[in-house]
Structure 1
Amino acid sequence: MAEVVVRLSVRDLTQEDLEWCSWSGTSLHLAQVAQELERARRGDVDYLAVCPPSGMPVAIGGVDYQANPGAGTLWQLAVHPALQSCGIGTLLIRAAEQRILARGLHRAELSVEESNPRARALYERLGYVAHGRKPEAWDEEGPDGVIRRHETICTAMRKSLA
């Protein structure tokens, strides 16, 4: 069995990257990410991309500095489905935590759907601790193109950053 090692870098996601991110969600999702890039230009959020040498994102995710005072809130974290369980999500989260620290904040927060135990296990391995449950909702585009409201229960998690 041969092993291939690919160098990955983390950088800011750009508007031009969105054409390569269809794996991360529907056109509605990508339109929402485009709106978040406007917030990133204002400094309200960071939106990161993990890229191999080709420069095409294989993971993306945001850090919102306004959602929870005193913390950076990770959200919209996604890794290309074919590359999950390769450590890329860990790289993305660690880079996001470094951005939070660079802002002078010492706490990271996130929410994970209770129906996503795999993601929760990753967050727990990285030191995130559950501190509550809360309902969340967002618009979601179905395979038929119809937009529906997705309602779910999430576990709120946090981590102190050194």
Structure 2
Amino acid sequence: MSAVVVSLSVRDLTQEDLQWCSWSGSALHLTQVARELKRSRSGVVDYLAVCPPSDRPVAIGGVDYEVSPGAGTLWQLAVLPALQSCGIGTVLIHAAEQRIIARGLQRAELSVEESNPRARALYERLGYVAHGRKPAAWDAEGPDGVIRRYETVCTLMGKTLT
């Protein structure tokens, strides 16, 4: 087996990028991402894209600075399914942490669904520590196109940044 090495860059996600991000979720999800991009213009959110030389996002995710005082909260992290477990999520998270540090903050937080042990294992490898649980819910579009309320339980995790 031979390895292929591809350089990645991290930049701000743009409205124009959304046409290439259908892999990240439903049309409803992309509408929510577009709403967050508007919030990014006021500086309360950073929304990042990890891109190979094609400059089309293969991972996206946000940092919200309004959720928890003194911390950046990572959310909506997603990697193109065919490229998961290749280190791209790690690149995205490290870039998000650098954005948090650049704002003079020293803490990153996130929540992970308890039904997603792969994501939790990644966060733990990157130094995130569980500190609680909470129920969470949001509207989600099913494969049939019907929007339903999705309910879950999330583990709250945090990390001190240096």
Partner-residue secondary structure (3-state), 2:148: strand
Unpaired runs of at least 5, structure 1:
none
2:137 equivalent in structure 1: 137
Q: How far has the Cα of 1:158 moved from its partner?
A: 0.2
1:47 equivalent in structure 2: 47
Cα RMSD over matched residues? Answer: 0.4
Q: How far has the Cα of 1:2 moved from its partner?
A: 2.4
Deviation sequence 1:3-40 (CA, Å, 0-9, x none): 21100000000000000000000000000000000000
Tell me, in whole angstroms, the C-alpha distance in 2 between the residues paired with 1:97 and 1:36. Answer: 18
**Runs of 4 or more consecutive aligned structure 1 residues displaced over 6 Å after TM superposition:** none
TM-score (norm 2): 0.99
Q: Pairwise mapping of residues 19-58 of structure 1 onto structure 2 (< 5 A)?
A: 19-58=19-58
2:153 equivalent in structure 1: 153
**Percent identity (aligned):** 81
Deviation sequence 1:100-122 (CA, Å, 0-9, x none): 00000000000000000010000
Q: How many residues align?
A: 162
Deviation sequence 1:51-88 (CA, Å, 0-9, x none): 00000000000000000010000000000000000000
Tell me, in whole angstroms, the C-alpha distance in 2 between the residues paired with 1:8 and 1:43. Answer: 25
TM-score (norm 1): 0.99
Partner-residue secondary structure (3-state), 2:41: helix
Unpaired runs of at least 5, structure 2:
none
Letter in 2 for 1:26: S
